Amino acid sequence: MHIEDKPPFDSPFEWMGGEARVKALAERFYDLMDIEPGYKELRAAHGSTLQDARQKLFWFLCGWLGGPEHYTERFGHPRLRMRHMPFSIGVQERDQWLACMDQAMQETQVDPLLRERLNASFFKTADWMRNRGV
């Protein structure tokens, strides 16, 4: 690793700016899902309210980014694939999730280098969550 490749912070959580910034990201993600027509299939999979999903994403992201383990303290290991099996997730849902998160990161002013790195990680996870071919 070259010194210029080292992130400027010890964790993505710290780089993002802590809990307040992660909360803003989770909130914007679900706001966009709720208002943007391009995410309607993704929104439809979430039921009538997004409040629980907002909170759980915030808790999950905190720990996943290297901050407080709010999610695991409440629910144990995330077991993302297992928890998402009841939902039909194909390429369209994956791509809408990724686009919505990228838009939320852009609008909440996540550092461009961090955003690029997170997008790569989010893609791997979102693609792994697919449980149908298309």
Q: Per residue in 66-101, pLDDT tens?
A: 999 999 999 988 888 888 788 888 999 999 999 999
Q: Which long-range contacts (CB under 8 A, 24 or more apart) does 15-22 make?
A: 15/111, 15/114, 16/65, 16/110, 16/111, 16/114, 18/67, 19/62, 19/67, 19/68, 21/108, 21/110, 22/58, 22/61, 22/62, 22/65, 22/67
Q: The whole model's pTM is what?
A: 0.89
The pLDDT value recorded for residue 50 is: 92
Give all domains of the chain, ordered by start, each with its CATH number: 11-129 (1.10.490.10)
Percent of the chain exceeding pLDDT 90 equals 73
